[in-house]
Amino acid sequence: LAKTTQPISMDSYEGQEVNITCSHNNIATNDYITWYQQFPSQGPRFIIQGYKTKVTNEVASLFIPADRKSSTLSLPRVSLSDTAVYYCLVGDQRNAGNMLTFGGGTRLMVKP
């Protein structure tokens, strides 16, 4: 399984755009990149998933360069309610033992 590296924590202010980068140098050809959000005392919640280039949904955008060795989760105009831990996952549930493993995540603090 490709290991991921993310910043431990980030601070931002309301209304700003936040970009969280995840490094995954050993990503395999079939691996997808998935991001989850977790609030205190809750289970993680799926945000976005992609394989290459750019993916956008109503919550966030995911940028993946051509070499796929990193990815960036972009949260536009964050609010206080975006304060959470964000996890980057890389893998393929169909192979590699079907394991979906989490790293340490990035703790985002949004300030007023």
Partner 1 sequence: NAGVTQTPKFQVLKTGQSMTLQCAQDMNHEYMSWYRQDPGMGLRLIHYSVGAGITDQGEVPNGYNVSRSTTEDFPLRLLSAAPSQTSVYFCASSYLGRGRANTEAFFGQGTRLTVV
Binding-site ranges for partner 1 (CB under 8 A): 30-32, 34, 36, 41-46, 49, 51, 85, 87, 89, 91-94, 97-105
* 16 contacts: CB under 8 Å, gap ≥ 6: 77, 78
To partner 1, the closest distance from the beta carbon of 15 in angstroms equals 28
To partner 1, the closest distance from the beta carbon of 23 in angstroms equals 16
The rounded distance, in Å, linking the Cα atoms of 53 and 45 is 23
Residue whose C-alpha is closest to residue 72's, from 48, 94, 101, 108: 48
To partner 1, the closest distance from the beta carbon of 72 in angstroms equals 18
